[in-house]
Amino acid sequence: MILAKVLASVFGFSLGAAERTYLWDREPLPPCEGGVLHLDGKYRTTTEVEYHDDCLLRGAPGTEVEVDGKIHFLANARLQGSIVFTRAPDASNHRRCVDIEGSLDMSDVDIEFRGCGGPETEDGGALYVEGRMDMSNGSVVFRNGSAMWGGCLFVGQRLFMAGGLLRFEHCVAGELGGGVYAQGDLVQSGGHLHFTNCHAYRGKGGALHLAGTDLLQENGKITLSNCWAGNGGCICSNKLIAKTNSSAIADMEDFQGKVVLNGTLVAGGGSADYKGGVIFAASGELGGRMTLRNCKARVGGCLHFKDFVVQ
């Protein structure tokens, strides 16, 4: 704005014109014609945008979408190419950025979500996927998203990661899953799943919360740095009976969910107010290479499983 004022005084056009130029710079999102939505440039949504049929969303390098009204896919979606989704600085609501009612497939991506959602967003501050989510290769970075469940990402069915990078930074949940809330299994056969500075304020799973389902790492790497929650500072799998009452969550110990590690896990700075500084789940099979540093909790400084606890 200061730059705009300087330009206005130097070139003699009014500030109003400069502001309108900024809005003119950003086009509304086009329709998904023939199942392909190709974006190249700068866009902005002011109201919710709906896509009713299966759609491939592809971005050219440098593409940005400023989101005020969420982008809503009512069927399946595929993402490819380069796109930065940013919550509009003057956004009038706390809506998430992208909502997919079907499944999501991502390959050859370079995608970033910045500042999506807010304390009033129910689940998946940046991205909500009702069905399955598949990540093949490329990189998807989530920054500064927040919601009640799954600060940055909610996945309703299986989340499968074959390769690439999924990175979560400063993702915050009011209740469960600071970075991710997953209702199905999370299966990693490769790639890097990275969480840094993710928190679940009143609940469990500072980085990742699984709803009593399993984390199965066949290969690949998981990095957890500085995550915090009530139980399961970084990763928690526990079946939840009611997800509407936070005072009930702290009391419940309905153990379900297994954590199987067979790749690399590096955790530094995981902390839980109560149990499992890094991981809290019903059972675990811990293989591969695991490094745990600076974890703390009241019970199970690093790991807490139903049958055993590692201080």
Positions touching ligand NAG (CB under 6 A) are 107-108, 115, 136-137, 144, 170, 218-219, 245, 247-248, 262
50 vs 136, beta carbon nearer ligand NAG: 136
92 vs 247, beta carbon nearer ligand NAG: 247
Torsion of the alpha carbons at 238, 240, 245 and 251, rounded to the nearest 10: -50
Cross-strand pairs, 193: 166, 222
Smallest gap from Cβ 78 to ligand NAG, in A, equals 10
Cross-strand pairs, 56: 36, 78
Smallest gap from Cβ 256 to ligand NAG, in A, equals 20
48 vs 185, beta carbon nearer ligand NAG: 185
Contact 283, 307 (CB under 8 A): yes
Give how far Cα 77 sits from Cα of 71, 241, 244, Å. Answer: 11, 31, 29
Smallest gap from Cβ 54 to ligand NAG, in A, equals 17
Strands 186-188 and 215-217: parallel
Query: Which residue in this structure is represented by tokens 């390769």?
Result: 163
48 vs 218, beta carbon nearer ligand NAG: 218
φ, ψ of residue 115 to 5 degrees: the values are: 60, 30
For ligand NAG, the nearest residue by Cβ is 218
Smallest gap from Cβ 162 to ligand NAG, in A, equals 7
156 vs 263, beta carbon nearer ligand NAG: 263
Query: Residue 215: what residue type?
Result: L
Smallest gap from Cβ 287 to ligand NAG, in A, equals 7
